A and B are shown apart, each in its own frame.
Chain A
C-alpha cells in the first residue's frame, strides 16, 4: 500500500482508478482520461497534487543557500510571492529534480518538489544547510490542489469568496499570495490558466468538495500527463534525470550563469557547453495514425534518438512526444519512429508547446 493524500477517500468516492505514483496511491482517472483532459482545456478541472512535497528554507542565509543549490538564480525573485522554476543538479550537472521556489521573505523561501525525488531532495538540502546555517523544514501537513482551465477562476469564486478571488486574479503568472491559511499561486502544469492552492491538510476535503460543487470536475494523473505533454512541459524521471543535464533536457532557459555565482553543477554545465552539446530535447508529432510511447527509438539523418515521453494528444488527435535527439536535428525535419519491432512510422520534429491556452500551436 502506498502513501495516501488527505483526499484519498474523495478519490474513491468519485470512482477513481488508483495507481502508484512515486510511492503514493493516486487517481489515474475517474472514468475517462480523455474527458478529463478536454474538461481542463474547455472548462476547468481539479487535481489532487498533495503528493508533491512542500519544503521551506528559513534563515538569514536562505537566499545564498538557494543560489548555491539551484541552477536558476533566486536573485531573479525580488518581490514577495514571486515564483521561479528551475533544476536541482548534482556535481556532474545531472538533474536531481525540477522544482518551483517561492520567495516569501528574505529569510523564508517555500519550495515545491516532486513526489519521487522529494525525500532525497530534502536530504540533499539538509546536507548543505549547515554550511549556510539555514533550517530545512518539510511541511508534510500541507495538501495541494490544482484548479486549471479557462473557467478556473470564475468557478472558484463560490469557494474562495469574491475578495480572495480578486486577490488571486490580480496575480501575474508565477506569483503567489497568502489568503488566511491558504497559499494561492498562479501556477500549473497544464498549459492553461489556473491556480494551485497549498492548504492545511484538514482543509483539503472541504476545499475539494467546494470546487467539485462549483462544477470543477476531478481530473486524474492520466489527464495531467497528456495536458503537460501538450504544453511541452517535462516530467521528472522521464524527460530528465540525473543522467542528463538541463542543456540536454530543453531546460537551458532555467540555467542562470550569473557572473560569480558558484552553484552545484555549474562547472560541469560549463564544460559540457564548451565541448558542444550532442543531444537536445524536442517535440515530435506523428504524421499518421498511432500513438507515440516513451522508450521508442527514432532514426533521423543526423542519427538516432529516443522518445522520453509519448502519448496520444486528445487536442491534436495525434501521437505526440518529447524526444532526445542529435543536436543537429532541426524543427520541421522528418524522421522514422520504431513503433514496434519491425514497424516504423514517420514523425516530424516540432517546437513545443503543442497546445497553449486551448490553442493548437503546431501545424498538423
Chain B
C-alpha cells in the first residue's frame, strides 16, 4: 500500500502539493514513483517560469519511462530542487521529502483548497486498482 500523507493535497495526475504559508511545494506521489521505478533524470522548470494549471511543467524519467509532471495550479515558480540533478533517486526513497521537485506561488491564494485531499486521492488510487 502506498503512502498518502493526510496533510497534503493531490492531483489526479499523481502530484502532491504542500502549502507552507502560501508557497506550494510540488512532488510526485509515492504511488507514482513506485509505478515508475528507479529515477535517473529530472527536467525541472526555471525559477520565474509561469505555470498553467494542468499543463506539463517538468519531466521525471526512470530507467523504465519518462513521465510529464503537470502544474497543479496557475502560478509562478519560486524555487527548484537542484539536488535532484545529482540525486534523482531521492524521488524514490523520499518522495514527500528530499524528493520534492519545485515550489511555486499560486496565482490565487485559495486555489490549493480545490485540489484533492488525502481521502479523495486514496479513493482515486483504489478506483485505478
Contacts and interface: CB of A to CB of B under 8 A. Distances in A.
Given A291-B61, A312-B61, A222 B66 contact: no
A293 B66 CA distance: 9
Interface string B55-77: 00001010110100000000000
Interface residues of A, number: 16
Nearest to B85: A289
B68 to A, nearest CB: 9
B95 to A, nearest CB: 14
A330 to B, nearest CB: 28
Given A32-B38, A291-B40, A226 B63 contact: yes
A327 interface: no
B63 A34 contact: yes
B45 interface: no
A28 B37 contact: yes
A33 B63 contact: yes
A290 B61 contact: yes
Interface residues of B, number: 13
B61 A222 contact: no
Contacts of B38: 29, 32-34
A6 B38 CA distance: 27
Contacts of B89: 34
Interface string A277-295: 0000000000001110100
Contacts of B40: 34, 291, 312
27 contacts: A17-B37, A28-B37, A28-B64, A29-B37, A29-B38, A32-B38, A32-B92, A33-B37, A33-B63, A34-B38, A34-B40, A34-B63, A34-B89, A222-B37, A222-B63, A226-B63, A289-B85, A290-B43, A290-B61, A291-B41, A291-B61, A291-B66, A293-B66, A311-B63, A312-B41, A340-B59, A340-B66
Contacts of B59: 340
A123 B119 CA distance: 53
A17 B33 CA distance: 13
A63 B43 CA distance: 55
Interface of A: 17, 28-29, 32-34, 222, 226, 289-291, 293, 311-312, 314, 340
A290 B37 CA distance: 16
Given A33-B38, A34-B40, A291-B41, 14 more contacts: A29-B37, A29-B38, A33-B37, A222-B37, A222-B63, A290-B43, A290-B61, A291-B61, A291-B63, A293-B66, A311-B63, A312-B40, A312-B63, A314-B63
Contacts of A289: 41, 85
Nearest to A223: B63
B41 A290 contact: yes
A28 B40 CA distance: 17
A34 B63 CA distance: 8
Contacts of A314: 63
A241 B38 CA distance: 29
A298 B92 CA distance: 31
Contact of B64 (A222, A290, A340): A222
Q: Which 3 A-B pairs have the closest CB atoms?
A: A312-B40, A34-B38, A291-B61
Contacts of B43: 290
A222 B37 CA distance: 10
Contacts of B64: 28, 33, 222
A141 to B, nearest CB: 33
Contacts of B63: 33-34, 222, 226, 291, 311-312, 314
A312 to B, nearest CB: 4
